A = this chain, B = another copy of it.
Amino acid sequence: MAPLPTTGHPDDLDHDLGWMLGVAFRAYVKACEVALQDLPGGPRGYQVLTIAARGPARNQGAIAEELGIDRTVLTYLIDDLEQVDLVARLPDPADRRSRLVIATEPGRAAWQQHREALRHVEAHVLDPLPARDTATFRSLLQRVACGAQSRDPLSDPGG
């Protein structure tokens, strides 16, 4: 059986932060599969689309840093989104090496649709929590994630 939060022994697996984060993360990815099945890149593709749709337009390096992923994988994600006309790469007037990523009109529509679908996915994943605790959990998880991002900005100069 799967461990339940009732055993109480601090050495049990369900007290291991790595186990908890891994299980929660994989459960989220799996729960997304249906909702994002027509979106290239899955959750990652949605995150790129979010930045592109929200604006202002940014270049790929800035997007990779915000997402916490390597800029080499971002190239492929944008390739796939661009191929189905959800985002576009525009020349950066300030720097001819740089390319600004924006959402197309269908891209913004697709983003809103998937955002709505993901609301249900998130509710499903957080369903085990009492309703009054979901906001608390999101707020605390946000602090952990943002803290990690600011500690290890990724693609830091020198590595």
Contact = CB atoms under 8 A, between A and B. Distances in A.
Contact of A146 (B14, B50, B67): B14
Contacts of A65: 1-2
Interface residues on A, range: 35 or more
Contacts of A68: 2, 22-23, 26
A38 to B, nearest CB: 17
A61 interface: no
User: Copy number in this complex?
Assistant: 2
Contacts of A142: 5, 14-15, 20
A97 to B, nearest CB: 21
A66 B102 CA distance: 43
Interface of A: 1-5, 9, 11-30, 32, 43, 46-47, 50-51, 54, 65-68, 115, 118, 122, 125-129, 133, 136-153
26 contacts: A1-B66, A2-B68, A5-B139, A5-B142, A5-B146, A9-B54, A12-B54, A17-B118, A17-B126, A17-B138, A18-B43, A19-B43, A19-B47, A20-B142, A20-B144, A23-B145, A23-B149, A24-B141, A24-B144, A24-B145, A24-B148, A26-B68, A27-B149, A125-B144, A137-B141, A137-B144
